[in-house]
Structure 1
Amino acid sequence: MRRLTLFAALVTLAGCGSDDSNGGGNSSGLTGTSRYAVHSIVTSPDGQDGYVTILDSLAPRPNVGLSKAREFSGPSDIWVYEGSVYVSGGETPTVTKYTLTNDGQLVDPKVLNFSARGLTDAAFWNNTFISPTKAYMLNGLAQYIVWNPTTMAITGTVDLPKIENRNGLIPRPGSADRSVIVHNGRLYQPVAWYDEQYAHRTDDSQVAVFDVNTDTFVQMIDAPCPGLDVGTKDDSGHIYFSPWTGGAGTALVLHTAPTCVADVDTATLTASVAFKFADVAAGHEGSDFHYVGNGKFVFTAFDEKRVDLANAKEPFGIIGGLNWHVWNYDLQTKTATEMQSVAWNSGAAYWFKIDGVEHALIPGTGYTSSTVYQLGTPGTDAATRLFDVDGYNMRLFKVR
């Protein structure tokens, strides 16, 4: 699981806070009818564990700690779909479907085990929900395992095309939770080539296209940007792919190709370079390009002036500190502006739309804590800090 081995495997837990009490209501302290799920992965000397905390609102508060969280052993993951909470096994290739009670309990577990299909990890960075009766669980670059989220049963497979190594570099799929896009009955899966350490990489990527109605492969799209691992879609149906944070480090230290955003035209199934991050972000490399509405995007940019780049021996050591800032990007003017309302951070941000509003999950120093922001009106520098979360916060959902 590269997102954690690159960023947090050597991190120890700095300390755990506690939730603010909501007061009143049932014994859990939850009030009203709305329920939100906050998930984070905490790294300690003993390993990694996942924690799920249920809130009744996203009102600002100092901290969402672990005192009221449910712990799942290993680097377990969660997803919320159609009102159910799905939890992946941190130590087994399983997905468990839960019902959330009004007092915040996860009950009525239904387990689907993928081990018989050769899968070793069923986390949601491998999975794409397509409909209430269909999801694709990626099994390396061999196939998608098709399963039914309603009945919790495996229903078939979709073979991926054979993708060869390139000059000793290995093809690897983008993480499904942040890179795969489903649009008009087709699934778009980026693939890029890396060495074993995800450092050296090819100058380009590809996008595999599948028909999710017939469960068949359509074609490969050549995408002229390296390390594509984040996907987003605008209102016109154009899909954009960008790299994850490691691309900044490899471009600056190993002098791989500069980070850029690929624009995929879903009508012609072709891709072009939308822009290079350095051309719009004051010379900085970037990642994590995400559409927030009204022709506006956000992304994160790495400020190389904040590190000792001249003495950097490898690409990933420099990117994990508080050297990243969030930027706005305007598609019409093709200009970017730095957001001062979001603090300097460690990159590797996640974006979730809740109640029609974009939220940013921003990791702090060493990925031992994160901060949730409400971004507000697209294109403005008016983010509101909501609360801190213990651990690396990658998931925020409204359950109901």
Structure 2
Amino acid sequence: MKEATSDMINTRKLTGLSAVLLCGALQAGCSEDADRGGRQAAEGPLFAVPTQVYGADFATSTSYVAFVPSLDVERIQLDDARELNERGTVAKLGDYFFMASSSKPVVDRFELQADGSLAPAGSLNFSNYGLPEYFTLDAWGGVLVDAERAYVFNAADGSHVAWNPTTLEITGTIEGPGVVKEGYNLESIAVVRGDRMYRVFTLLNYETWEFLPSPQYLAVYDLKTDELIDLVEDSRCPQLYSRPFVDEQGDIYFSGWVWTPGLTLTGDYPASCSLRIKAGEDTFDPDWQLDFAADITEGREAAVMRPLGDGKVLLDVFHDERVTIDEATDPQELSNTPNWRLWMVDLKTKQGAPIDSLGFKAGGYSDVQVDGRNFLMVPNEDYSETTAYELADGEARAGFAIQGSVDQILKLR
């Protein structure tokens, strides 16, 4: 897969729907062979698993939301899944289940019924505020704070629309920070800690596939007043477009996605690294920088740092010793080759090693925490299928497979 379009940069990024009837509104319950992850009973656990299936050229896609009673199956089937247009994302806030589609600026809300169906409970249309390039509820387009506070991000200008998931009302707007640059798109992702939202802006030229290596912009927002209160420039790391996270101490860590290691290995591009914001601070820690190749991976480029707890993280590491790189090498093709491995890293000691139970794979993964479990969603080389690995005690056990690309799992009950 060559991720060379704006569509594919959001492989980690649902449509206006009528009622979603999981087993039929009039049925008391239904079931299918358990190892297929098909229809579910009206009682017991219920999970929503959205997946995005791409066309042959990756210019088009269709999403599906599968509703299953268990994640402990060999395969989650899409026979009974709800079909959605383009990029589909979901959310659960309070007692409500939300869906949105990247094709139109509408959030649809549902209530889960006792029989396992979803009853419409209103919708909210954002069309008067402009259509973001990707209208999503996940971390690449939405910021979900709690049952009364949420935000839609517009990558065209870096602005936000604030809305209340309980009342389904738009409550205000936050203007963009003014970092738009001609010829470049804003790529951005946010994290919330307390009453602060921190958003890093990266600039990308889709025509040349150039991530502008510097500066990165850190925008800090006060969510009590819905105001941008600070904008900080930092040029130490070339791209920080992966989901940030808050650790147990309240420190926030930032890292990049799997596209820039190829740029580093094929040209004069800075090495990938990680930055942090310490607990109680609102700017990057000037005394902390984690250079993956120099500090941990014995010279290998890496990306996508995600938390494991107790000071340990996951890191997606490109093993360049397995490939020949010359002047004809396409840097973006390197991200799709099966030469990446997931490493477990101790941030305190800066020691790390590959997870023995996981072999080589294509670049990229998503981690999903649901029902007290930690899953690694690992796509194949062309993102046509995802395998879920459950991570426990330092080992990864292969779980269900599903068609398409998955980065969300929600427990509805």
The verdict on a shared fold, with TM-score over 0.5 as the criterion, is yes
Q: Deviations over 1:65-120 (max 9, x none)?
A: 21121111222222333343322124212221222345543331522221111124
Unaligned 5+ segments in structure 1 are 9-18
Pair 1:311–1:173, CA change in 2 (3 A)? closer
C-alpha deviation, 1:270, in angstroms = 3.1
* 1:22-42 deviations in Å (ceiling 9; x for gaps): 29xxx9333752111111100
Matching residue within 26, 43, 59 for 2:54: 43
Q: 1:149 aligns with which of 143, 154, 165?
A: 165
Structure 1 residues 340-359: aligned runs within 5 Å: 340-359=356-375
TM-score, scaled relative to structure 1: 0.86
Q: Does 1:216 align with 2:227?
A: yes
Counterpart of 1:79, as a letter, is A
Say if 1:99 and 1:108, in contact at 8 Å, map to a contact too: yes
Unaligned runs of 5+ in 2: 12-30
Match of 2:203 among 188, 193, 205: 193
Mapped pair 1:338 → 2:354:
yes
Over aligned residue pairs, what C-alpha RMSD do you find? Answer: 2.5
Match of 1:28 among 34, 39, 55: 39
> 1:362 Cα deviation (Å)?
0.9
1:158 aligned residue (163, 174, 180): 174
- Displacement of 1:7 in angstroms is 8.5
- Residue 133 of structure 1, aligned match among 131, 134, 148: 148
SS in 2 for 1:310: coil
The answer on whether the counterparts of 1:95 and 1:122 sit within 8 Å (CA) in structure 2 is: no
CA distance in 2 between counterparts of 1:329 and 1:103 reads 45
Q: Is the CA contact (8 Å cut-off) linking 2:261 and 2:303 kept in structure 1?
A: yes
Q: How many pairs were matched up?
A: 377
Query: Is the 1:296–1:331 contact (alpha carbons within 8 Å) kept by the matching residues of 2?
Result: yes
Residue 213 to residue 6, structure 1, CA distance change in 2 (3 Å): closer
Q: CA deviation at 1:181?
A: 1.3
Q: Distance between the aligned counterparts of 1:266 and 1:143, measured in 2? A: 26
Q: Which residue of 2 aligns with 1:53?
A: 66
Secondary structure of the corresponding residue to residue 365 of structure 1: coil
Residue in structure 1 matched with residue 240 of structure 2 by the alignment: 228
Residue equivalent to 1:13? none
| 1:186-335 matched pairs, under 5 angstroms | 186-197=196-207, 198-223=209-234, 224-230=236-242, 231-271=244-284, 272=286, 273-279=288-294, 280-335=296-351
User: Which of 120, 123, 128 is 1:108 aligned to?
Assistant: 120
C-alpha displacement at 1:258, in angstroms? 0.6
- Displacement of 1:305 in angstroms is 2.8
Describe the shift of the 1:6–1:122 C-alpha distance in structure 2 as closer, same or farther (beyond 3 A).
closer
> Cα distance, 1:157 vs. partner?
0.3
Cα distance, 1:142–1:3 mapped onto 2, change above 3 Å: closer
Q: Deviations over 1:37-57 (max 9, x none)?
A: 111100135931111111212
> 1:383 is matched with which residue: 393, 396, 413?
396
> Does the Cα contact within 8 Å between 2:202 and 2:211 map onto a contact in 1?
no
Distance in 1 (alpha carbons) for counterparts of 2:268 and 2:117? 49
Change in 2 beyond 3 A, CA 1:315/1:100:
farther
Relative to 1, partners in 2 of residues 1:359 and 1:234: Cα closer, same or farther, differing over 3 Å?
Answer: same
Q: SS at the partner of 1:202?
A: coil
User: Which has more strand, going by share of residues?
Assistant: 1
Residue 174 (structure 1) aligned with residue 188 (structure 2): yes
Q: Structure 1 pair 83/309, CA: closer, same or farther in 2 (3 Å)?
A: farther
Structure 1 counterpart of 2:8: 5
